[in-house]
């Protein structure tokens, strides 16, 4: 068994413009996802929008610079994540494909085991 993180990337502006019905539907779809895959789920959260993000970069002189906003300037940002456990990539892919993401998609990444 191995752990994977499913990052939910989506377009925040599409979320804002979305019909309240669709937002409600998506939330219901997440609840259904959580119930269906309860055995594999190890965690997960919806995040606040990236306008409250803070990015912290390390500088060459050993200090840090702190800036307002998401880490990279892309239309899609990470809006939430799930931590799942699966036997292998094929099983993880099947679970990740069930994550609702009407305004974007998801990215599946294996967790590096701590030794």
Partner 1 sequence: MDPVVAAAVADAHRTEWGRVLAAAARLTGDLDTAEECAQDAYADALASWSMYGVPDRPGAWLTTVARRRAMDIIRRRDTLRDKLPLIAGPDDVAGGPDTASEDEAFPDDRLRLIFICCHPTLAPDARVALTLRLLCGLTTGEVASAFLTSEPTMAARLTRAKKKIAATRIPYRVPGPGELGERLATVLDVVHLVFTTGHTAPDGQALQRRDLAERALDLARMLRLLLPDEPAVAGLLALILLTDARRHTRTDQAGRLLRLAEQDRARWDHGEISEGLALAREALRRRPYSRYPLMATIAATHATAPAPGAPDWAQILALYDELIAIWPSPIVALNRAIAIGEANGPTAGLAALDALATEPQLAGYHYLPAARAEYLRRLDRHDEARLAYDEALLLAGNNTEHRFLATRRAQLPYAT
For partner 1, the binding residues (CB under 8 A) are 2, 4, 87-93, 108, 110, 112, 115
Residue 109 beta carbon to partner 1: minimum distance, rounded to whole angstroms:
8
Q: How far is residue 16's CA from residue 11's CA, in Å, rounded to a whole number?
A: 9
Nearer to partner 1, 1 or 56 (CB): 1
Nearer to partner 1, 52 or 97 (CB): 97
Q: In the structure encoding, which two tokens stand for residue 38, read together?
A: 């309860």
Residue 24 beta carbon to partner 1: minimum distance, rounded to whole angstroms:
32
Nearer to partner 1, 64 or 112 (CB): 112
Residue 101 beta carbon to partner 1: minimum distance, rounded to whole angstroms:
17
Residue 108 beta carbon to partner 1: minimum distance, rounded to whole angstroms:
8
């Amino acid at each position: 068994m191995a752990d994977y993180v499913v990052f939910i990337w989506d377009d925040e502006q599409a979320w804002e413009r979305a019909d309240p019905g669709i937002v409600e539907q998506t939330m219901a779809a997440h609840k259904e996802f959580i119930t269906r895959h309860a055995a594999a789920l190890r965690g997960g959260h919806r995040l606040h929008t990236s306008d409250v993000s803070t990015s912290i970069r390390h500088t060459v002189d050993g200090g840090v610079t702190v800036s307002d906003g998401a880490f990279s300037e892309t239309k899609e940002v990470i809006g939430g994540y799930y931590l799942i456990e699966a036997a292998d990539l094929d099983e993880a892919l099947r679970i990740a494909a069930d994550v609702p993401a009407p305004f974007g998609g998801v990215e599946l990444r294996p967790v590096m085991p701590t030794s």
